[in-house]
Every structure is written in structure tokens, then in C-alpha cells.
Amino acid sequence: MAEQTTVQIDTTITKQNITSDQEVRWCVGCGDYSILAQMKKTLIDLGLPREKTVFVSGIGCSSRFPYYLDTYGFHTIHGRAPAVATGVKLANPDLSVWVITGDGDGLSIGGNHLLHLFRRNLDINVILFNNQIYGLTKGQYSPTSPVGKVTKSSPYGSLDGPINPISFALGCSATFVARAMDRDPKHLVEMLKRAHAHKGCSFVEVYQNCNIYNDGIYFNLTDPATKSDNVVYLEHNEPLIYGKEKNTGVKLNGFKFEKAELKTEADHEKLFKHDEKNPDPGYAFMLSGLTENPELPTPLGVFRELEQDSFDKMFHQQIEDVKKDKGKGDIKKLLLTGETWTIN
């Protein structure tokens, strides 16, 4: 059977030999540079052999990513990276497959394709760069732009409500759902490594600054002066605590998350502990809603990780089971089965 094999660790990968000879075409200062750098670090640390690693992307600034790595890669068509990545993974189950997409590529034209990748749970890592804008096409509003966003395609303010990518992934039954930021490199590497370790479809939303068409949208989450009051890191089995002095927490009141001032030991005891293994999608879904709550911090980290057989594993198992039962197939015989016509 074409089993998912454990890839040998390659200790010869360096920053130099993982970098391709292509000129990087992103604007100076774009958040994509940091994500590329953290991806290189992840590949080097994990020792993933370059010939066993494939990056598949759609169209957009972010989707130029595969050019810049000396691994295998496909720059495919708009929104269709999930289809190509599915084929790659099914044909070669021992490859490490990464889909690189943007908020426009993945959630607009490619939304339907992403949905099916998530629900099928193929062992593929999806990294979505969210800059809340179409960068490559010069600044039209995207499906993650907030209501009222003034752009070249919405000069009087956009009218449609934004997609929360984490809620979307959870709604599609994704088994690993996490969030990181371009300007928090250490945490981003941690999330990329966890995505790789997960056997099933992993989704990491990465907040990315487009300094040309949407500069500073995550400033309050990345600026050292405001970050600690606006960001909470999710740690499995740990309460949600944030703030410069670590004196604020998040407590659950019925179906509502609320802010809790932490003055005494008893205040700490009121906090609930994050459970990324909670199989109830409602819990992670509520947590994803904190992103839109101006009273509460934005969560970064793993929202949910569930163990479930991946589609590719079941797919190859099914082929083996049927072969055992019915013997090896014969394509010619199959084509001539049932009614056939001869056209004169």
C-alpha cells in the first residue's frame, strides 16, 4: 500500500540552498518577506528534504511564494491551489505539501475549493496570508476587509460583511486551525511547525501587512506599546491571560466571553482553561468570535486540533481493500463494461 512514510531528516539544508535564484518581486517592507524567512527557518529546523517538499499557490502577491524557495512548487491559477495540491498529495502521499494563498485567492474565487480541502482533511498545510486587500491587483477590497472599507473598488465604503477565516475553517470542519502574525516571527515558526506535525489538513491564518495598499491594519496587535493589551496567546490547558502586567483574563459567562480583572487568587480561579482538543466545534467557534469583539483581545495560536484519519490515508487504504477483495483492475475491461455503441 502507498503508505504515508516518515520522511528522512535532511541535515544539509541551509538558508542558501533552500533559497531559489529568483529575484523577489514583493514591495520593500511587505510582510511577505517575514513569512518567507520564517518558512525557511521552519524547513531548515525540521530538516524537510527539498525534493520531498512542494509549495502550491494560486494567484496574488502572496502566491509568488513558491518561486522563492528551492523546493518543488506550482504557481497555479486563481483560487485553485487546493485542487492541484490534492492531486499532488494523492499521487505522492509521502510529500510534505503546503498551499500558500491570500485572503482574496483563498476566500473569494477559491472559497469553495478551500471548503472541500478542509472537510476532506487531506494531510496538507494551508497558509493563508491575510492582508485584508487584493495586493497584486492594486488595492481592491477583499472578503476579509471590514465593512465601510474605502478602496479603489469601493470608493464609498464596502457594504458586505467580512469573513473571519478562522470561523470559516472551523465551519468547514478543519482539524487544525491556528493564527499567527508576520511580525511575531518566533510564534509564526511555532505555528508552522505545529501545522506540519498535524496529520490532516492544517490551516494557519497569518496576519500580513501590505504596506502599499493597506498599511498598519494590524498595528495595534504588532506595536510593542499596544500588543500586550490587544493580543492573547492560546495555550492548551492554560487560562487566557493578557495585558502588560498579566492582570487581565478572559472568562466564560454562559455563552459569552467576558473580560476579567485579576486581582486575587479567586479571580484566577474563575478563568476557564483553553482546550484545543475540545471536539465541540461550538467552543472553538466562540473563541474565533473574540476577533470581532472590541472589548476583548485577539487570539493567536491553535484554536483547535483534532485527530482524525486523513483523506489520503483512507483513500489508499480503500484501494488496497478493494484490490484484496476483487483483484487488480483492468481498465480495458472496465471501459467495455455495460452498454457500448459503435458509431458508423
Ligand X SMILES: Cc1ncc(C[n+]2csc(CCOP(=O)(O)OP(=O)(O)O)c2C)c(N)n1
Contacting residues toward ligand X, per CB under 6 A: 59-62, 78, 102-105, 109, 129, 131, 133-137, 142
193 Cβ partners below 8 Å, 6+ apart?
42, 45, 46
| Chosen residue from 53, 131, 151, 158 binding ligand SF4 by CB under 6 A | 131
**One symbol per residue from 194 to 233: x for binding ligand SF4 (CB under 6 A), - otherwise; what is it?**
----------------xxxx--------------------
CB of 242 to ligand X, least distance (A): 29
Residue nearest to ligand X (CB): 102
The dihedrals phi and psi of 219, each to the nearest 5 degrees, come to -55, -40
**Closer to ligand X at the Cβ: 108 or 173?**
108
Among 92-100, 130-138, 162-170, 289-297, the segment contacting ligand SF4 (CB under 6 A): 130-138
Given the C-alpha cell 492560546, which residue does it identify? Answer: 234
135 binds ligand SF4 (CB under 6 A): yes
**Nearest 5°: CA angle at 205, between 293 and 219?**
55
CB of 140 to ligand SF4, least distance (A): 12
Rounded Cα distance between 279 and 272, Å, is: 16
Q: Look at residue 63 and give its three-state secondary structure.
A: helix
> Which one of ligand X, ligand SF4, none is in contact with 74 (Cβ closer than 5 to 8 A by kind)?
none
> Which one of ligand SF4, ligand X, none is in contact with 312 (Cβ closer than 5 to 8 A by kind)?
none
CB of 317 to ligand SF4, least distance (A): 41
- Amino acid identity of 22? Q
Q: First vs last Cα of the chain: how many Å apart?
A: 44
**Closer to ligand SF4 at the Cβ: 28 or 225?**
28
Instruction: Please give the full DSSP string across 245-267, using - where no structure is assigned.
Output: TS-EEEEEETTEEEEEE--SHHH
Among 25-33, 68-76, 223-231, 238-246, the segment contacting ligand SF4 (CB under 6 A): 25-33
> Which one of ligand X, ligand SF4, none is in contact with 30 (Cβ closer than 5 to 8 A by kind)?
ligand SF4
How many Cβ atoms are within 10 Å of 111's Cβ, its own excluded?
A: 15
Nearest alpha carbon to residue 202 among 122, 278, 271: 122
**Closer to ligand SF4 at the Cβ: 85 or 210?**
210
CB of 131 to ligand SF4, least distance (A): 5
Nearest alpha carbon to residue 75 among 25, 112, 119: 25
Q: Residue 257's beta-bridge partner residues?
A: 252
Within 33-72, which residues bind ligand SF4 (CB under 6 A)? Answer: 61
162 Cβ partners below 8 Å, 6+ apart?
132, 143, 144, 145, 146, 147
How many Cβ atoms are within 10 Å of 41's Cβ, its own excluded?
A: 18
Rounded Cα distance between 61 and 23, Å, is: 14
147 binds ligand SF4 (CB under 6 A): no
> Which one of ligand SF4, ligand X, none is in contact with 104 (Cβ closer than 5 to 8 A by kind)?
ligand X
> Which one of ligand SF4, ligand X, none is in contact with 26 (Cβ closer than 5 to 8 A by kind)?
ligand SF4
Residues that bind ligand SF4 (CB under 6 A): 26-27, 30, 32, 61, 131, 135-136, 210-213
